[in-house]
Structure 1
Amino acid sequence: MKANYRTIFTVGLLILIFQISAKQNFLLFHTIVELSSIVIAFAVFIVTWNTRKMLDNNYLYFVGIAYVFIGTLDLLHTITYPGMNIIPGTIFYTNQFWVATRFLEASAFIMGFWFLKRRKTLNGDITILSFCLVTTLIVLSILTWKIFPVCYIAGVGQTAFKIGAEYVIIAMLFFAGLLLYSSRISFTPTVFRFLALSLLFAVLSEFCFTLYVSIFSLPNELGHYAKLISFFLIYKANVETGFTNPTELIFKDLKDNEVKYRTLAENLPELIFRFDRAFKCLYANKALGEFLQHEREPYTGKKLSHMGFPKSFEDLLIKLLIEVKQSRVIHETNFDLKEANYAYSFSIQVIPEYGIDHHHGTYLIICHDITELKITEKRLHELNATKDKFFSIIAHDLRNPFTSLISFSEMIYKNVNRLSAEKIENFAMRMNDSARQAFTLLENLLHWSKMQTGVLKPDLEQLNAVELLNEIKYISSAIAMTKGVEINIEESSSGRILADKQMMDTVLRNILTNAIKFSYENSNIVLKAYDHQENVVFSVKDSGVGISKENIELLFRTDRNFSTTGTQHEKGTGLGLKLCREFVEISGGSIWLESEPGLGTTIYFTIPSVKN
């Protein structure tokens, strides 16, 4: 428990997210589970490709490359799922992509063993081109040529081909399991266990998909869980084990032959050197000379302190050697070297090598350059942060129309005996408007989700400032009316701006919602848009509670979550203005506010105007 608490916490959190999403909306559950497995598949490929020079196992190399194409087909399976409405058609493409992807995955598991037996290193470029060709043919056969057999019929269920294909895939996975067992000597025990369990959960996943009648049934849900676990175990085998214990993979075959060890170590890109108990250098490979920019200088016989390492790097190595000398166990750490002309990230291992008497030993140091891995990891964090922002936008923006629905429905059932038919009809019409707004917003967000994964990029188009203000006034009038707040438009610019429509709607909607939230009953809110130099300046002014100067800067800070309740104790998330700032800045504008406690607040933002 103590050693794996992070994994236990992560798994528990994922289970909670999956269960909540499954109860709320099966499409949301399916999308989250599939995106999780797709992220894992891409991570397997990224790290496998970046560590291909260290990876001496052709099977892990081949399977690692395959997963980027498996992830790509799974992405197509996700976006063609019923309800996504991204790729139109009457055929259930999602089931076809599922079968094709699982065939590709099972085939990769089997073909990998043929490459495992070859002594020659796998050619990564040819392998990628081959997978790319196969993947393209699969996509064309389903979406363009439409020659791929139908796998699901609405009202009937799975076709005979779909069920039969699942059993064929199960047989292929069992065959891969037999090959894995017969080749287990080629893997470390840990990697063998991960691969075996991954195949087992893949079989369970396929078996679940032979049982379900509806795509929303329990076997379908269980099948996705098993698939996600299978992908995670491949991740553990290809990524974590390959980095956490690299010496076990790289030097597994070198312990019996010192000459072979020296030949390989001399040509490795990692820094490899050995010290005696007095910390004198016994061996240093060629990479060390390149790193220190003294390629011809001999290091053998020099003390560590005289080898010319950067000061911070030298201090760390001495500290690690002392600790290993005292504890006699392997020490591992990561170190960022930012000194003078050096800018590296290293994964450092100090390994004690004791003789039979355990007294006269040496110390092997291996420094893996993980600079590219750090950059990749940072990129993955950025992608994950973008995903979190997107989900935050969905949660934040969907609240407004549903608040209106709740408010009007509450008015009706509390006053049903006192309301006239005309009044009820008016409320019903406004509830219908709010429902349509919610639908429109959700549809827009689904279209937005098709934007390229990574940083959010605006889809620029020419927009009329007056139309934007009128539209946001209409959308927000229902919420304002429940509070007796009147929204007026003054000094509307006749100019046009160059911006993303969805982003501008989100910015104005969030700012106006905040203005209503902090306005007193029966007060006014003024919307303006006027030309200033090469921009159009938008402003939203309320006469509400205002905000103190010391709290103004907290509203836009991403490292703080500042939120206060409204005049009727309305709660907020603290995300609205942060999202507004990011969307305004990514659109080439700026945002600021002016406020006095008790006198109200005015929020301004600029957007570049269209040049005549």
Structure 2
Amino acid sequence: MVWVAIIGLLYLISLGNYLLFHTVVELFSVYVAYVIFLIVWKSRSRLENGYLIFIGVAFFFIGSIDFLHTFTFRGMELFPGSGINLTVQLWIAARYLESITFLLAPLFLIKRKEDVNPDVEKRYIISPDSSTFAWNVFLVYAAITILCLLSIFFFRNFPAAYIEGSGITPFKILSEYIISFMLFCSLIALYVKRDNFESKVFNLLAASIALAALGDLSFALYSHIGEFPNIIGHYFKLLSFYFIYQAVVGIGFEEPCSLLFRELKHREEEFRQKAILLGDEYHLICRMIGANRTSEPQNKNSDKERVQENYHPFSDHFPGVWFQLDENFMPVSIEGPVEEVSGYGKDEILSGKITLTELVVPEDQPSVFENRKKLKSNPRLVIENELRIRKKNGETKWVRKIIRGIESAPEGSGNFQGLAYDITERKMAEEALEKIERIRIKEVHHRIKNNLQVISSLLSLQAEKFDDREVIEAFRESQNRVASIAMIHEELHGGESPDSLDFAGYLQKLTSDLFNSYRVGKDGINLTLELESVRLGMDTAIPLGIIVNELVSNSLKHAFPGINEGEICISLRNEEKPEFENEIFDSVPDSPENSNFHYILTVSDNGKGIPDDIDFRTTDSLGLQLITILIDQIDGSIELKRDQGTEFTLRFND
């Protein structure tokens, strides 16, 4: 309905003032073009999808030419005496630039090619340096735009598009058909590449291109400015730019995963496939390095030469270093791109000028010594690990090493053999993937927290409409429950890890907020916290947070009637095997073994206590029912001590 109203209003404007109608439509398209450029340009270093980068950069120049087109229109007087021909020439230049952009953009989509050999690494069609790619596109389009403007304004050799008295020229009509044809071709190309987009993004882009093509067909049918096909063409352009705005800007802000996370999923799938290939490669390599364990040489004088020869056929084609070590793990032979991997020459390593241990960074050396002990105790073991080495130039590299003992080793050969190859790029990609995943999860927590805070605020506003104290109290309880969950997502968003939080710090904030909420008449109630540092995952922290919220709220509301002083204590301990005092507890007979729990959370007060005839598991109180349900949800146990007040003890695992 909104768009119907807008189009109707624009039509009325076009009837009375075509210049205003034209200016509004064109400035809207200029605004969209610049916003798309700004969004893509600011995100260029994080985008690997060349389609978005290519279109985003191109739209800056398309919008700039459209801006000139708008202000050279008759009546704007930016270039007095220029005439309609200049305006139409700029229009044609912008539309050619737009259609060529949409036609070429699918070529820069992420494309994965698999060679006949399944071990060939998948590659991208564009350089991984997206920022450099964006600058290259910017410079190319800047050059093209400057040439077009020089042709129109300075050299004046751009073909005439409009002649006063006769209307649009054949060049202009033919150009509109060519532009429409290119746009329809780009629509087909986009359809072929549709798997690279979420369906919503694809539909919006396709609609934008289709409307742009229809608009150019409309502009091919009018002969003078202001005719009906000309008006319709501007409507098509307006809608076309609106749809691409929604595809890039709207979804980019509201559903960024539809644009960015799709690439993350592609990379995650790549790593999964690489892991499978590495598994196959591992078994192949183990067979290769263990192939000669039972072979007996016929000529002992040529043992060493035969061992060396056996390595050459495979090592010449493997992008890693093959080695044999003696009983003291000193190199006997080494083959492959030694200098490329380590920075040292083969002779430097074989001569002992630099030992293999010295190549390894100090932090990873303990694992090397530990693996050597294992190999000496059991030479049949195959040990693989990933470690960092420092090259001769100081650069740090990640390598994957596989080593095993040689049974019945011939004289002159090594006692151990294996290989090492560079995995630095894979490690960097994994770190980047983990970083993106952490950012994504933190953003999810942030959004959930914001939504829960909105719900809490709505409950507070709704409560103000009632005078009944019980109704108001019910709203406040619900508000506090929502706030306790929102606080967990806030901690997860702002904390070091998006998957776990410091529950002790969370309890401090939660209890502080609860005391502020029930402050009226409770100033004499003190809070004592004895909290050990415990990190809990979200699935455990949320139910526990609600439980603590209920227990502390109940103490503040019911434990101290008519009393202006008292104490609420909360303790949190980490105990592998907690010891229990010989107290009388209300406990569930078939509850899990208490000794199986690692954490103990106690909430107690020195108030009037819960009467003996009340079973907190069967009471009608919503809060106590929630406690029972939630403790079952985390497979924990809860016990109530009715001595000098109330003491709830919760035992649980994470």
Q: TM-score, normalised by structure 1?
A: 0.44
TM-score by length of 2: 0.41
